[in-house]
Amino acid sequence: PAAGAQAITVGGKNFTEQLLLSDMTGQYLDAHGFDADVRNGMGSTVLRRAQLNGQVDLYWEYVGTSLITYNKVEGGAKMSRQEAYEKVKKLDAEKGLVWLKPSQANNTYAIAMEEEDAEKRGVETISDLAKLVEGGKELTFATDAEFASRPDGLPGLQEHYGFSFPRAQVKRMDAGLVYKALNEDEVNSAMVFATDGRNAAFDFRVLEDDQNFFPNYAITPVVREDVLKKHPKLRELMNELSSKLDDATMQRLNKQVDVEKKSVSQVAETFLKENGLI
């Protein structure tokens, strides 16, 4: 960063997409007059708290996560993308956080099975899976700790679809290991993130959320209001970056890291250069 650059702390969660977005944002802001301190690897609640108390200035959050897990809004899945965004924008503004331009990328939680197994068992929707589990089929399910306990995760999903995995059939692991476990037949089903590059690479069938449980999870830059007041140009800069992100782009970038084993900083830098952002 240049002499006199403005210090800013960029946060991130602990999975590939968030490592990419935080690293990318750091490189991008460094190239535009800031001196970014990137702190990632946090779980959602820790990161949210860090932003509320001022340890983190800016990070990429998902609309549905703030709507349901932080703000405890009920019926969020029935809202349109725009309604959900307007609602979190308003609720978080009261807490000193500004939601900038939402990207077109929707990293929703989803439930996946291996294509061949899903075909054999005739499972296309989450309702189909719920029926099998309720019918006594001993299917196992891989999940990370967040999904296992969040209201927009397994507890809410089971209530909404009226089924329940017996405790012993739910296998908890790090988010990154869930894909490996499903791919290697250690489990029959798993929680996945829709923008993860491994869903396609490992030939997973992402089940249809036929009873509309999951809300919209548009990836959006969220910045502390006091920081935005001090550095108003952040708005335009971050909105520009946000406008470059959609599902296909996130899947491609995530895949470069998780499947092609490229480094996070290299993938981030190449993307910024390709888009003329640095």
- For residue 95, CA distances in Å to 13, 65, 224 come to 20, 16, 9
Pick the stretch among 30-38, 107-115, 179-187, 265-273 that binds ligand PBE (CB under 6 A): 107-115
Q: Order the strands of the 170-172 sheet from edge to edge.
A: 170-172, 141-143, 189-193, 109-114, 204-206
Say if residues 20 and 257 touch (Cβ distance below 8 Å).
Answer: yes
Nearer to ligand PBE, 44 or 220 (CB): 44
Least distance to ligand PBE, CB of residue 202, Å: 18
Closest by Cα among 23, 28, 12, 65 to 257: 23
Q: Which amino acid is at 21?
A: L
Does 14 interact with ligand PBE (rule: CB under 6 A)? no
How many residues form the binding site for ligand PBE (CB under 6 A)? 9
- State the pairing for strand pair 204-206/109-114: antiparallel
Least distance to ligand PBE, CB of residue 144, Å: 8
Q: Which of residues 60-99 bind ligand PBE (CB under 6 A)?
A: 62, 65
Does 179 interact with ligand PBE (rule: CB under 6 A)? no
- For residue 147, CA distances in Å to 7, 57, 82, 143 come to 34, 25, 24, 6
Q: Which of residues 196-235 bind ligand PBE (CB under 6 A)?
A: 217
Among 14, 16, 44, 51, binds ligand PBE (CB under 6 A): 44
Does 271 interact with ligand PBE (rule: CB under 6 A)? no
Site for ligand PBE, rule CB under 6 A: 13, 44, 62, 65, 107-109, 193, 217
